[in-house]
């Protein structure tokens, strides 16, 4: 009885911003684990204390729980960058203007450097690895690179007749409705398809020629800023092509959804592909230090 009385209060306190939901994050992680080299797999299986094929996927949403603990409160702002742009007319991310007191760009930079530093204690390396797996996912969710109405959290929309908000639609409703579920097996099967498209299919050319552009372990902030700018461009082209007016109070499970799916697939694919490359580069860097 007591629990029932308390539930509604808890519900209203639930986080509004969760980033790619579980499905998006675990799919990004599985794509990366499909693509990394064997030494990278061994390094991160060791750091994350799990030698199964799920070693990345099982920690992919850890950062979204941690941010709501008192120990993790400092990390909440590291899940996004609030681009002060003006969609749909003008999109764009600028570090100085948009990063505030810390943002996802700095988060990726700092935790990458901690992973590379041989003097980082093991517990902190473990945490850094979990942050990196998560943040490379978040930065590829367009509404994690947008300030407008709290990244769409304050834009009320409908999805399958349910009232929700635009941020949640991009985090969760679109991916889940496309794939049919959110558990690890669904993520694994979506990841298998997207990995196939990266290696042999519709993303092959783009992945090889464009998705690694500007990526450098010597400049993690610069690399992350490129990824943020790219996903922010989707805010103008696909998320809000007609501005707030085009989506507010509108049912998005029809045409809007169909138009969004190719963008979501491509963003999840490039997040997984880039995460694999990033972890490979880190593993190479760590190996060099150990020689």
Ligand X SMILES: *[C@@H]1O[C@H](CO)[C@@H](O)[C@H](O)[C@H]1NC(C)=O
Q: Residue 54's binding partner, choosing from Zn ion, ligand X, none, with beta-carbon cut-off 5 to 8 A by kind?
A: ligand X
Instruction: For the segment 70-89, give every residue that binds ligand X (CB under 6 A).
Output: 78
Output the smallest distance, CB 9 to ligand X, in A: 31
The answer to whether 134 is a known catalytic residue is yes
Catalytic residue among 54, 134, 140, 270: 134
Site for ligand X in 103-162 (CB under 6 A): 106-107, 110
Cα atoms in the 13 Å half-sphere on the side-chain side of 74: 4
Q: Compose the 33-52 pattern: x for residues touching ligand X by CB under 6 A, - for all others.
A: -----------------x-x
Euclidean distance between CA atoms 186 and 214, whole angstroms: 32
CB of 132 to Zn ion, least distance (A): 12
CB of 278 to ligand X, least distance (A): 17
Beta-strand relationship, 156-159 and 162-165: antiparallel
Q: Is 144 among the catalytic positions? A: yes
User: Which residues of this protein are in contact with Zn ion, per CB under 5 A?
Assistant: 19, 64, 79, 138
Tell me, yes or no, if 167 is annotated catalytic. Answer: yes
Q: Is 25 a catalytic residue?
A: yes
Residue 98 annotated as catalytic: no
- Residue with token string 């999109």: 91
Find all residues with CB under 8 Å of 135, minimum gap 6, and list them: 63, 78, 79, 104, 107, 108, 111
CB-CB contact of 23 with 184 (8 Å): no
64 classed as catalytic: yes
Instruction: Extract the runs of DSSP E, i.e. beta strands, from the chain.
Output: 156-159, 162-165
- Which tokens sit at 128? 């850094």
Catalytic residue chosen out of the listed positions 54, 67, 270, 274: 67
Cβ atoms 109, 83 nearer than 8 A = no
Burial class, 46, CB count within 10 angstroms (exposed 0-12 / middle 13-18 / buried 19+) = middle
Q: Which of 139, 166, 179, 260 binds ligand X (CB under 6 A)?
A: 179
The site for ligand X, by CB under 6 A, has a size of: 13
Q: Which residues are catalytic?
A: 20, 25, 64, 67, 79, 134, 138, 144, 167, 171
| Chain residues that interact with ligand X, rule: CB under 6 A | 50, 52, 54, 58, 78, 102, 106-107, 110, 179, 189-190, 193
């Amino acid at each position: 009885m007591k629990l029932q009385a308390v539930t509604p209060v808890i519900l209203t306190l639930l986080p509004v911003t969760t980033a790619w939901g579980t499905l998006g994050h675990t799919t990004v992680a599985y794509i990366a684990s499909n693509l990394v080299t064997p030494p990278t797999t061994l390094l991160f299986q060791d750091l994350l204390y799990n030698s199964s094929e799920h070693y990345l996927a099982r920690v992919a949403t850890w950062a979204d729980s941690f941010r709501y603990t008192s120990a993790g409160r400092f990390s909440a702002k590291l899940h996004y960058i609030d681009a002060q742009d003006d969609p749909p007319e003008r999109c764009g991310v600028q570090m100085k203007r948009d990063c505030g007191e810390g943002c996802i760009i700095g988060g990726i930079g700092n935790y990458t450097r901690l992973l590379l530093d041989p003097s980082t204690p093991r517990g902190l390396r473990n945490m850094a690895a979990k942050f990196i797996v998560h943040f490379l996912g978040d930065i590829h969710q367009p509404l994690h690179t947008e300030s407008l109405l709290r990244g769409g959290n304050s834009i009320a929309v409908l999805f399958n007749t349910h009232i929700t908000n635009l941020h949640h639609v991009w985090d969760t409703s679109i991916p889940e409705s496309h794939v049919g579920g959110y558990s690890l097996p669904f993520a694994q099967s979506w990841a298998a398809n997207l990995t196939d498209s990266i290696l042999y299919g519709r993303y092959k050319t783009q992945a090889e020629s464009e998705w690694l552009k500007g990526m450098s372990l010597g400049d993690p902030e610069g690399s992350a800023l490129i990824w943020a700018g790219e996903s922010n461009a989707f805010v103008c082209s696909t998320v809000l092509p007609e501005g707030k007016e085009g989506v507010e109070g509108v049912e998005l499970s029809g045409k809007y959804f169909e138009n969004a799916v190719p963008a979501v697939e491509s963003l999840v694919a490039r997040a997984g592909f880039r995460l694999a490359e990033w972890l490979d580069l880190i593993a190479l860097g760590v190996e060099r230090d150990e020689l």
